[in-house]
Amino acid sequence: MLIKIYNDNPNPRAIEQAVDILRRGGVIIYPTDTVYGIGCDITQQKAIERVCEIRGLKPEKANLSFICYDLTDISQYTKSFDTSVFRVLKKALPGPFTFIFNATTKVPKLLSSKKKTVGIRVPDNNIVREIVKQLGNPIVTTSIHDEDEIIEYSTDPELIHEKYEDLVDAVIDGGYGDNVASTVVDLTEGTFDVIREGKGDLEQFL
């Protein structure tokens, strides 16, 4: 199923359609402010396993991140951090960053893993944020990769749909995606350690 949603004015009915799929344990592909992602409701264990299977990942070892609507969701899944860190996050988010935090015990239970860290995303994309807001839970997310040696990430939603339509419950067409992933920043030591340079430029917020 291909669901067209416009980022500048997401159709509430189409958003509700996507949310309903997630609530029923479905897996969807959706746009972000960087590359297209694949994910599910974090409370749906079988759906998380399905996401990992589609991407060829082992659930206990997978580096899955959560997409949250805003910073208020983050405290449930991350151990406390300094006010100075919070100030930077407030300036940088929504934006093209994945921040790695020390995880609360809630995260390993959700992911059936022993991971002590969690990646958090608040993308600057109205479609996926509205889906998360209406769902009431974060979405477990991982990027859609392409087999092409030159283009690392799939950007055309119609081609993504052709490739994944039998594997997922819906592909959200939010227009062409980017081919540059998020900048990954490790905050587990309380400092901003960029471990992957991507679309986001953290320097302007420090």
pLDDT at 150: 46
CA dist., res. 116 & res. 101, Å (int): 9
CA dist., res. 44 & res. 40, Å (int): 7
**How many CA atoms, within 13 angstroms, populate the side-chain half-sphere of residue 155?**
12
Q: Under the phi-then-psi rule, with left for phi > 0, alpha for psi from -120 to 50, and beta for the rest, what region is 86?
A: alpha
CA dist., res. 116 & res. 26, Å (int): 26
pLDDT at 62: 76
Contact by Cβ (8 Å): 104, 77 = yes
pLDDT at 155: 84
Structure tokens that stand for 110 in this block: 């959700």
CA dist., res. 113 & res. 108, Å (int): 5
| 188: nearest Cα among 49, 79, 95 | 79
Structural domains present in the chain: 2-196 (3.90.870.10)
- Tens-binned pLDDT, residue by residue, of the chain (206 aa): 999 999 999 999 999 999 999 999 999 999 999 999 999 999 999 999 999 999 888 877 777 899 999 998 788 889 988 999 999 999 999 999 999 999 888 887 777 677 789 999 999 999 999 999 999 999 999 988 655 444 556 788 998 999 999 999 999 999 998 888 899 999 999 899 999 999 999 999 98
